[in-house]
Amino acid sequence: MAMTRRERLRRCYFHEELDRPGVYNRTNYPDNDPTYDKLKAYLAQYSELKLCWGTDFLQTPCEFEYATAPHSEDFELCRTILHTPKGNLEATYLSSLRGQPGLHQTYFLKTREDADKYLSLPMPSIGGNVSEFSQADSQMGDSGVVDVSLGSNPGGFVVELFGQETFAMMSVSDRDIIHALLERQMEIILRRAKYLVSQKVGPFFSLSGEEYIVPPMHGPLDFRDFNVKYDKPIFDVIHEAGGRVHIHCHASIKRVIKDFVNMGTDVLHPFEAPPMGDITPREAKKAAKGKLCLEGNIQIARMYESTPDAVRAETETLIKDTFADHRGLIVCPTASSYIRGQGEVCFEQYKTMVETVLSHSH
């Protein structure tokens, strides 16, 4: 008997035997783009679904001040000022006026003194009404699962305070202050995770941000020191409550995939082969050791630049290389459908990927 889409995803997260691989597409589509309506409807009917349920609302927010100013025909300049007990911190961002991605100009933390200002912030209070989770879970029904997002992991959060270049330099010159910032953010996420599990929210949780501290920018030592050390206590709280953890991490993970397994990652997306990454599907499956579900791995560009026949062949090879044990695979592109106005261009490639998975059986 065929599994429901919800049961199939549950089995993926809990490393149990499957009737076929899962198939899924991340849902950060371009805003207000009707060219993707046909694709959304098709995926809603035939693919496994996840609804992202954010949890930032459970903590009291920092005190920010915002301002905008003209910059060019394509962008406006956005200033964000963070008020701390030891003084203000400022970040600037170029926001597109044409529906395109924006660009960070400056970040909140530029020096050790800025980090000290940030550390003077009071710890936020955690709590709130989580009844919307059960409503979302009921609405999802047998179509899929509700993904409880904890946002960025401590490492990714701190990198985004500095920007990658400054963080890399500070990780050499001021490692102690980096650890202080990581400790603070870990404690915040831990409190949120503990509150959620105490309210019976779950069992499917997610984090992202580990990709900021992986090769080639950072070596395995930094990955363990800045990611594993501060992620594992969070994972442990979730696992002790019977939950599972999904991690989104691009880049070259071959030298750290065993660390993902050892710290308790249950689902990892994506696992990119060269040239975008450095690990093949076969290598990723071997490293997973039955403890890690692989979610991927069709490069998103293939959906726009390739042909349905090529996507079919790539999907078949992926299944052959990673699903011999009938466990631990959710076929998925490496990123959300993202090119504005190109929903019709990628539709047949997506449809072929899904159909190839649906036709697979023991």
pLDDT for position 101 = 79
Whether the Cβ atoms of residue 210 and residue 155 lie closer than 8 Å to each other: yes
State yes or no: pLDDT of 362 exceeds 80: no
pLDDT for position 38 = 98
In this structure, the number of other CB atoms found within 10 A of the CB of residue 85 comes to: 9
Sign of CA dihedral 269, 2, 202, 287: negative
309-318: average pLDDT: 98
pLDDT band per the 50, 70, 90 thresholds, residue 104: very high
pLDDT band per the 50, 70, 90 thresholds, residue 332: very high
The span from the CA of 46 to the CA of 26, in Å, is 14
The span from the CA of 298 to the CA of 296, in Å, is 6
**Which helix (H) or strand (E) segment is 132 a member of?**
helix 131-140
pLDDT for position 2 = 79
> How high is the mean pLDDT of the chain?
96
For residue range 15-37, list pLDDT tens digits in order: 999 999 999 999 999 989 999 99
For residue range 252-304, list pLDDT tens digits in order: 999 999 999 999 999 999 999 999 999 999 999 999 999 999 999 999 999 99
Amino acid making up residue 101:
P
State yes or no: pLDDT of 135 exceeds 80: yes
pLDDT for position 137 = 97
pLDDT for position 100 = 77
pLDDT for position 279 = 97
210-220: average pLDDT: 95
How far the first Cα of the chain sits from its last, in Å, is 12
State yes or no: pLDDT of 99 exceeds 80: no
Bridge partners of 246?
Answer: 206, 267
pLDDT for position 1 = 57
Half-sphere exposure of 232 (CA within 13 A, CB side): 12
The span from the CA of 102 to the CA of 205, in Å, is 28
pLDDT for position 102 = 87
State yes or no: pLDDT of 138 exceeds 90: yes
pTM: 0.95
The span from the CA of 149 to the CA of 207, in Å, is 6
Q: What does the block give as tokens for 318?
A: 């992926």
- What lies within 8 Å, CB to CB, of 134 at 6+ separation is none
209-238: average pLDDT: 97
